[in-house]
Amino acid sequence: MPRWEPNAVGRLQNAALELFATQGYEDTTVAHIAERAGLTERSYFNHFATKRDVLFGPGTAVHEQIVTREISGSALGPLDSVVRGLQVAADEVLEELRPQSIRRRALIDATPELQERDQDKSAALTATIAKALRDRHLEPEAALLTARSAVLVQQTAMRMWTDPTEDRSLRELIPEALRSLRSVVEADPSES
């Protein structure tokens, strides 16, 4: 029987953040991370499948559940319902993780293997949102385009939020990122 290990996930994630920053991602092993966290490798693998998963916590599933719940229960239009869901999930899951998220962003930007894992996570969020929109009877191609647009908004807001000089909450930055996306894609006046 596994012992109960208080906050094992948080301890492993903090240990990984420290080791990746000080000795580099490549030179850090799962054994190092577990040791630094005062846990066994076996505990590590109870929570994470591989080394590259350690910075992508179980919060992801909760985040996706909240977004899905908000889309399903919303009377707003498709994109607005997703934006609202991302805002609620920002408050309930992500806002308290800001300090770790700032440290994590620098590591992801510097580590191709973590970028791939980050892409997988965005792809999974896209698929979850697209399914929730199809369940609201949006046509599949429109659901996919709306989901991809929403994930682009989320990625943009996350980049702003993980800038150490930014002091607005992720909830506030999500509509700000949507406005930036609108201004990028709006028609050049000379075209019309």
Binding region for its own copies (CB under 8 A): 76-80, 115-116, 119-120, 123, 141-142, 144-146, 148-149, 152, 155-156, 159-160, 178, 180-182, 184-188, 191
Q: Between vectors from CA 36 to CA 32 and to CA 40, what angle results, nearest 5°?
A: 70
Task: Give 15 or 178: the residue with its C-beta nearer to its own copies.
Answer: 178
Task: Give 13 or 81: the residue with its C-beta nearer to its own copies.
Answer: 81
CB 57 to its own copies: min, Å:
21
The three state secondary structure string of 112-156 is HHHHHHHHHHHHHHHHHHHHHHHHCCCCHHHHHHHHHHHHHHHHH
Task: Give 11 or 117: the residue with its C-beta nearer to its own copies.
Answer: 117
Q: How far apart are the first and last CA of the chain?
A: 68
Task: Give 42 or 141: the residue with its C-beta nearer to its own copies.
Answer: 141
CB 69 to its own copies: min, Å:
21
Distance CA 174, CA 36 (A): 36
